[in-house]
Amino acid sequence: MKVERLHSWRVSTVQALEIQQKLASQVSKRSEVTTPHFIAGVDISAGKGEGMATGAVVVLQYPELRVVETKVARGKLDFPYIPGLLSFRESPLTLAACQKLTTTPDLILVDGQGIAHPRRLGLASHLGLFLNTPAVGCAKSLLCGSHEAPGAEPGSYTEVVDRSEIIGAALRTKLRVKPIYVSIGHKVDLQTAIYWVMKCCRGYRLPEPTRLAHLAAGGNLGQEGDTMLPKAGYQERLLG
């Protein structure tokens, strides 16, 4: 998969803030998603070694949501942990994994924020710009803004608002579990993002692409033919 070179990753905190301000204006909120044939999920997991991590991408064929390709990249996290600047810490390894793909996804679901970010450029938006591909943020927690509680039924959602701007949605994906936070990453509108996240849910809190990417990044995904299966003993309940 092709990765654009929009800027260097070896930057200072001040430079990172300037890059976010610049790139936020380049995020497209117009949907370019029709019916995707391949949907990818990406996630990253910090290893036990100091500053080490694994970035993972899992590509699923839609509508079967059958895994067709999984790639990982392991390495050191060079950028410090700074809330609001996590994409500078996590993107390089995630992009390295995506660059290994032979299948080009039509849509990418990211375990992280899109424009639901103080400067409107979270991980999903940053990756979407680098990959020039429609991307959706599917975060497990709220970074900024506020919202009313969504209804109890799966598919119910309420808007997340920050400074009078709608930046995402609190989406109920499973009965009796906390909502996830969906936002525009790139080349998608919010309603389309919500629609495809729900289409990718298979009885878990997380949509299947990011759920499997989470497993792959943590080394908890075994393989059997063309189907990726959780390794024996892994506690899936931790994913909700």
Q: 30 burial class (0-12, 13-18, 19+ CB within 10 angstroms)?
A: exposed
What pLDDT is recorded for position 225?
Answer: 29
> What separation in angstroms does the CA of 129 have from each of 32, 47, 98?
13, 27, 13
Cis peptide before 63, with omega less than 30 degrees from 0? Answer: yes
DSSP, residue by residue, 89-120: HHHHHHHHHHHT-SS--SEEEESS-SS-STTS
What is the three-class DSSP state of 124?
Answer: helix
Q: What is the pLDDT along the chain (240 residues), one digit of tens a residue?
A: 999 999 999 999 999 999 999 999 999 999 999 999 999 999 999 866 667 899 999 999 999 999 999 999 999 999 999 999 999 999 999 999 999 999 999 999 999 999 999 999 999 999 999 999 999 999 999 999 999 999 999 999 999 999 999 999 999 999 999 999 999 999 999 999 999 999 999 999 999 999 999 999 998 775 432 334 344 333 333 333
23: Cα separation from own chain's centroid: 18
Which of 79, 76, 109 has its CA nearest to residue 192?
109
Question: Which of left, alpha, beta for 170 (phi over 0: left; psi -120 to 50: alpha)?
Answer: beta
Q: Which one, of 84, 80, 89, lies nearest residue 20 by Cα?
A: 84
How far is Cα 133 from Cα 8, in angstroms, rounded to an integer?
Answer: 20
CATH code assigned to 13-219: 3.30.2170.10
CB neighbour class for 204 (10 Å; exposed up to 12, middle 13-18, buried from 19): middle
Rounded to whole angstroms, the Cα distance separating 132 from 85 reads: 20
**What's the CA gap between 226 and 117, in Å, rounded?**
36
DSSP-assigned beta bridge partners for residue 38: 61
- Enumerate residues 6+ apart whose C-beta is below 8 A from 16: 79, 85, 88
Q: The dihedral of CA 145, 195, 231, 69: what is its sign?
A: negative
The first and second tokens of residue 218, run together, are 């943590």
End-to-end CA distance of the chain: 31
The predicted structure's pLDDT at residue 220: 79
Model pLDDT, residue 51: 77
